[in-house]
Structure formats: structure tokens, C-alpha cells
Amino acid sequence: MNKIAIIGATGATGLELVKLALNEGLDPKDLCLIASEKSVGKSLIIQSQSFEIKSLSSVFESSFDVIFLAAGSKVSAELKDKLSKLDCFVIDLSSKFRQNQDVPLIIPEINHEALNFKKNRFVSSPNCVTTLYLMVLAPLFKKNKAKKVILSTYQAASGAGFFAMEELKKESEAFLNDASYEHKAFQDPYAFNLFAHNAPFKDPFDNEEEIKIRQESQKILNDPDFKITATCVRVPTLRAHAISAYVEFSESIDSETIYSLLDEASGIKLCEDFSKNKFATPQNASCKNEVYYGRIRKDPTSLNCFWFWIVGDQLLKGAALNAWQIYQLKRSYETLHAHSRTTSS
């Protein structure tokens, strides 16, 4: 059995999941695309394949190998208990259960060991910034812990979905034509503008995005005292986030060690040419699976401190690809498990 349901399939992240499944050779008829009532019954053509959008009830009408929840926290909250009654592996891309003790929060390259397939049938995929920056920094922390990480982000429209991506384009067009435009995606104008990340405030000072980054990093690194602070900013780019990261390591480390550790890490790609002042940009990293890194610079004014420039596709490794890789982990586990049963019998 290799049937997949994607809840939220018409969203920016959901569509990437569909493409990942098709690229992997999945038979389109084993793919169930689920979206909200207003889309049900409509057909959607992806990579020349036509799909009919199904309603949420479909998920309870047949059995699936995996269900991806990519429709936001509210839908995930409504479904978790119901889905837990099915014999199914669920990967949640929303933030709703990321801090639950019994829900592993997984970046396959970083902490796959936190996922126990015998026990866990509901897994969360982290916040996009958290995944992207940890892909580059976590391999270093295994060797040399961070005393502190300070991030400033340059976050693309895609984090707020298709609507924000489309609005950025339409509002920019209106701006260029001196036309008025009533923006709706964010409270601030977006065309040729930027603003503090639109996540709501729960804490008096950090917005929810900044809090997620802290809490999720601590959980993924299994270090509740891990010190990270971030300022999250929405910039007028489309689908790749950039992150300016400043790291104070707890012990001395040299550039050679950093480059060598990162060279061994998977899923990331060095992109820097100091002589040409050429480093990764959101346009380079868009639609790429790898997280790009570079501009690794020692701060000459301080001991053990380095700057990193990290850029990655928000919809891919920041969301859909990471969730897909969690599913791939599960398949590898099953293959291995089936194989060991066969050989031991």
C-alpha cells in the first residue's frame, strides 16, 4: 500500500507535496487531494495530471499510508484525534502540536533519531526558518555548542501562502502604475516595502514566529537551554527565505573546521565567492531542494563568533520537502523492517 492523502492540497505547500509525490513516480490515482469545501469537486491539473479535489470525509473513507496535514493549525487541531483512530501515519506541517511532548518534531538530516516508528504515528515538521537555519548550523553544534545564536530574517511572501505571493505581485504592479491598491494579505503595504513579521503576539515582545524559532530549536536540538533570539522580517521576495545568522560558539573553532563539517552535511550547498562578492540569493535558492549557505566570516571584534548567510526555499525544505523526507524515512524504516523479517524467517 502506498496511498497518500494531502489535506490542504490547493495551498502553496500542499501543491509542492503533490509535485514531490508525482516526481517520485507515485501513481496519481494513489494520491488523494483534499481541500476546503469551496474547492471540492473542482479539478486541478498538476504536471499534466488531472485531479479532482476531494472533501475531508474522503480521508476516513479509504485507507492511506500517510496523511499530510498542510491546511494550517486550526484544521490540524480539529483532525488530530480523529486521525489517530485510523491506522495511518500523519505528518503535520502546522505549528499546532510541535511542542507536544508525545509529538516528535523532525528534520530528517538533524534529529531523525527522535522519531520512533514503533510508537509515533503523528509527527510534526518544523517552522520554515527553524528548519532552514538548523540545516546549516546544527551540524556545527554537534562539534561545538553555541553559546548564543542571533538571527535576523528576510522572509518571503510564500510563508503566508499563495494569496500573499499573488498580492505582492499585484500590489507591486499597481505601485509601478501609480494605481491605488487595497492590500489585504498584511496590514502594511508590501510592494517595495518590508515589515516586522506578521505573526501575532502572545508574548509581550516576541511575535509568534520568533517564539516558534526558539522553542522548536530547543526541542530539535534536545537542549532546553539553547539560547537563540530572532528578529523576523517579511520582505518583498516570493518563495525563498534568507537568514543573517550570528553565532557565538562555546569553544574556539576555526573556519577550516566549519567548512569541513558543513561539507560533510547533507541537504546543504556552499554558495560563496568572496572575490566576486557572490553569495546565495532568494532567486538562486528558489525551487531548489538544498539550503544554500556561505559568507562565513569570523567577527574580528569577538572571540569564537561567526556570521553565516543562509538562503532556502520556504516551500520546499522550509515546508513540503522536509515533510516529504519524514515520509521517506518511514518508508526506509518499513523496507528495512520488512527485509529483516524476511531474512529472519
Q: Which of 32, 232, 241, 271 is catalytic?
A: 241
Q: Are strands 240-249 and 268-270 parallel, antiparallel or unpaired?
A: unpaired
- Catalytic site includes residue 339: no
Nearer to its own copies, 90 or 271 (CB): 271
Give min distance, CB of 150 to its own copies, in A.
Answer: 5
Of 226 and 327, which CB lies nearer to its own copies in the complex structure?
226
Q: How far apart are CA 285 and CA 242, in angstroms?
A: 9
C-alpha cell at 122: 503523528
Min dist CB 311 to its own copies, Å, is 9
Degrees, nearest 5: CA angle 52-58-62: 115
> What residue type is 23 in one-letter code?
N
Euclidean distance between the first and final Cα of the chain, in Å?
22
What is the rounded CA–CA span in Å between residue 279 and residue 264? 20
The SS3 assignment for 183 reads coil
Min separation Cβ 242 and its own copies, Å = 6
Catalytic residue among 32, 128, 232, 271: 128
Looking at the DSSP bridge assignments, the partners of residue 54 are 34
Q: How far is the CB of 19 from its own copies (least distance, A)?
A: 21
Cα dihedral across residues 39, 45, 47, 51: positive or negative: positive
Smallest separation (angstroms) from its own copies to the CB of 302: 6
Q: Which is nearer to its own copies, 68 or 226 (CB)?
A: 226
Nearer to its own copies (CB atom), residue 109 or residue 206: 206
User: Is the Cβ of residue 121 or residue 183 nearer to its own copies in the bound state?
Assistant: 183
**Smallest gap, in angstroms, from Cβ of residue 289 to its own copies?**
20
112 is catalytic: no
> Which positions touch its own copies (CB under 8 A)?
148, 150, 152, 154, 168-169, 172-173, 176, 187-189, 192-196, 198-201, 204-207, 214, 227-229, 231, 233, 235-238, 242, 244, 246, 274-279, 281-283, 295, 297-302, 305, 307, 309
Q: Would you state the cell numbers that stand for residue 109, as one nine-digit string? A: 538530516
Q: Which is nearer to its own copies, 107 or 296 (CB)?
A: 296
Cα–Cα distance for residue pair 161/156, rounded to 1 Å: 10
Place of cell 534529529: 111
Q: Residue 72, class by beta-carbon neighbours within 10 Å (0-12 exposed, 13-18 middle, 19+ buried)?
A: middle
As a whole number of angstroms, the distance between CA 91 and CA 115 comes to 12
Q: Is the dihedral of CA 269, 273, 276, 277 positive or negative?
A: positive
* Catalytic residue annotation: 128, 241
